[in-house]
Structure 1
Amino acid sequence: MKINEMKVNEYLNLLKSDAPAPGGGSASALAGAQGIALFEMVCDLTIGKEKFAEYQEICAQAKADGEKLYKELTEAIDKDTEAFNLVSSAFKLPKATEEEKKVRSKAIAEGTLAATEVPFKSMELAYEGLLIVQKLVGKSNPNAVSDLGVAVLNLMSCIKGAWLNVKINLPGVKDEAAAKGFQEKGEKIILEAEALEKELYGRVLELL
């Protein structure tokens, strides 16, 4: 069964078990999906309400944009675990002969690259989510502004958590150009996301 199809208690029981996956990468993607789900809820609580007529277009667009992010982040919950399993399986390959060593090294490199790409993508998706929330604060149902604040926190948790998973895998990425790209782009996302989180959380507090 896929993780994103599990009941909440099933997922949590698996997460707290001694199984090495799902781990932090999957949990980060789930946090991101929760962040998207929360701002989509706020959109739904705004769309169709006459007293929020001026916010209809903004919320409808945010809802539509969020759907794609939500789909990709929920898929990332499983993709992260699958990538970890690739690496784990690669390390278990035989290495008695030179040919076996080559096959094993190639499999480890491919698995490690996948295990880096998945959380990095989660970072990008969650940052896109923050940019959408930026448009919604003060321009959606004010009764649900606290939910936008929680959305911000979940999205930031996804970004920072996914970054840790990128960082731990980077030393194993053999493609130096790819590794450098992950490092530089990841640092940029972190800096911009932290500034945006501070701004948005502050604005939410002011509106409460």
Structure 2
Amino acid sequence: MDFCTLSLKDFLKKVAEKSATPGGGAVGAVVAALAASLGSMVANLTIGKKGYEDVEGHMESCLEVFESESNYLCDLMNRDIQAFDQVLSAYKLPKATDDEKNAREMKIQQALKTAIEVPFDLARRCKNIIVNVERLAKWGNSSVLSDAESAAHLLLAVHRIAKANVMINMKSLKDPDYGAWINEEMKQLEKQIDFSYNKIIEIIGKRNG
């Protein structure tokens, strides 16, 4: 099923059902896409406005990123659901013999890496979007700065969702080198996202007087 084609009401029903998918990761991808859409709105409401002629290039550049990320995140939502389903399927494999146990464990480890990589990718998307929201905070239409701030709040929350989903799958991972690399990358992403978030709040506070 392509969850991107569902109406909002149907998607909410799917999330509420007695099923593990779509879960937090998929919801996080949708929220990140909404943040990107808010960014697009701010950029569009700045382009062509009197007094903002000098920043149109910045706004057009931001708009390209927001539109691209929004489309990507829709696909990522579906991938998150598929990744979790793969983990569940791997755990259901037979384990009566040693060969079956080994094959099952290999499938579980492969599925776990996929289940880690999807929310890890979500964290990277948050970073890509929020650094451009920072540009909106600096140069965007002052009448819609609250929408840029709203996007920043959403992205901070989504990063926390992504981190939670990475960490829960890391618990069962048996590849310490891969785990160490993911941990280091997530730490760097967190620093970058937190830095941009704090700058956005600071800049908007100053612009609002």
TM range (shorter): over 0.9
3-state SS of paired residue (1:147): helix
Report if the CA contact (8 A) 2:137-2:200 is conserved: yes
Give the 5 Å matches for 1:1-208. 1-208=1-208
- By how many angstroms is 1:206 displaced? 3.4
How many angstroms does 1:85 deviate by?
0.2
Task: Output the CA distance in 2 between the equivalents of 1:182 and 1:138.
Answer: 32
Q: Is the 1:134–1:200 contact (alpha carbons within 8 Å) kept by the matching residues of 2? A: yes
Deviations 1:95-131 (A, max 9, x none): 1122221221111111100000000010011111111
Q: Which moved more, 1:189-198 or 1:131-140?
A: 189-198
- Deviation, 1:17, is 1.8
Question: Quick check: 2:25–2:80 contact (8 Å CA) kept in 1?
Answer: yes
Counterpart residue type for residue 31 of structure 2: A
Kindly state the Cα deviation for residue 149 of structure 1 after the two structures are TM-superposed. Answer: 0.3
Write the distance in 1 (CA, Å) between the matches of 2:13 and 2:154: 21
Task: Note the C-alpha offset of 1:205.
Answer: 3.3
For 1:50 and 1:146, locate their aligned partners in 2 and report how far apart those are by CA, in whole Å. Answer: 20
Flag structure 1 segments of 5+ consecutive residues without an equivalent.
Answer: none
Q: Distance in 2 between matches of 1:205 and 1:18?
A: 43
Deviations 1:58-108 (A, max 9, x none): 000111122222222221111111100000011111111222212211111
More displaced, 113-122 or 60-69? 60-69
State how far apart, in whole Å, the 2-side matches of 1:67 and 1:80 are: 20
> Take 1:173 and 1:29, find their aligned partners in 2: how far apart are those partners?
23
Hey, what's the Cα distance between the residues in 1 that align with 2:21 and 2:202? 35
Counterpart CA distance in 1 for 2:58 and 2:188 is 27
The question of whether the paired residues in 2 share the 8 Å contact of 1:145 and 1:204 is answered with yes
Report how far residue 175 of structure 1 moved. Answer: 2.3
Counterpart CA distance in 2 for 1:190 and 1:138 is 21
Aligned partners of 1:30 and 1:158 also within 8 Å: no
Aligned residues of 1:47 and 1:56 also touching (Cα < 8 A): yes
Matched residues in 2 for 1:15 and 1:39: separation?
25
Structure 1 stretches of at least 4 aligned residues deviating more than 6 Å after TM superposition: none
The separation in 2 between residues aligned to 1:96 and 1:22, in whole angstroms, is: 31
TM-score normalized by structure 2?
0.94
What is the percent sequence identity of the aligned residues?
Answer: 26
CA contact (8 A) 1:32 1:157 kept: no
Map Cα deviations across residues 135-180 of structure 1 (whole Å, 9 max, x no partner): 1213121111110001101111111110000010112222222111
**Cα distance in 1 between the residues matched to 2:54 and 2:176:** 49
What amino acid does structure 1 have at the position aligned with 2:128? E
Which consecutive residues of structure 2, in runs of 5 or more, have no partner in the other structure? none
